[in-house]
Structure 1
Amino acid sequence: MDITFKKSSFCGDGNCVEVAALPSGDIALRDAKDPSLPAHVFTRAEWAAFVSGVRNGEFDY
């Protein structure tokens, strides 16, 4: 299975995550510093809820 992880263009200091769309339709998220670690996998609905929360400022400090 060939999965392509993408890093955000905002990543600059190496403390980044990478995201990939899986063939199942789920979304995988992994630490770019150590891609050998297992990825966290989210359903499309979970991912959409997270992205919506980011856009709405729910995680702003």
Structure 2
Amino acid sequence: MGTGWFKSSYSASNSNCVEMSAFIPNVDIAIRDSKEPRRPFLCVTEGAWSRFISELKAEPFTA
């Protein structure tokens, strides 16, 4: 089974985005830089990922 990395449908084709996977053994959610796919990735729990997404939806990030 592959790791199933994927980008958001909102991501542009310029590769400046992150990818996530929920298919790595013993890891809830893995997040990596799409420009550097061979570098280490960040692992978070499903609960932490859900809270992060909820916060983004409630109060969108502005740069």
TM score, norm. by length of structure 1: 0.83
Q: Residue 34 of structure 1 aligns to a residue in which SS?
A: coil
The residue number in structure 2 matching 1:53 is 55
State the identity %. 38
Residue 42 (structure 1) aligned with residue 44 (structure 2): yes
> What's the Cα RMSD here?
1.8
Moved more, 24-33 or 48-57: 24-33
Residue 19 (structure 1) aligned with residue 20 (structure 2): yes
Structure 2 unaligned blocks of 5 or more: none
Moved more, 48-57 or 22-31: 22-31
Q: Deviations over 1:25-50 (max 9, x none)?
A: 61000000110111100001110110
The residue number in structure 2 matching 1:28 is 30
Q: Residue 35 of structure 1 aligns to a residue in which SS?
A: coil
Equivalent position amino acid for 2:53 in 1: V
Measured after TM superposition, the shift of residue 14 of structure 1 is 1.6
Number of residue pairs aligned between Structure 1 and Structure 2: 61
TM score, norm. by length of structure 2: 0.81
Partners of 2:27 and 2:44 within 8 A in 1: no
Structure 1 unaligned blocks of 5 or more: none
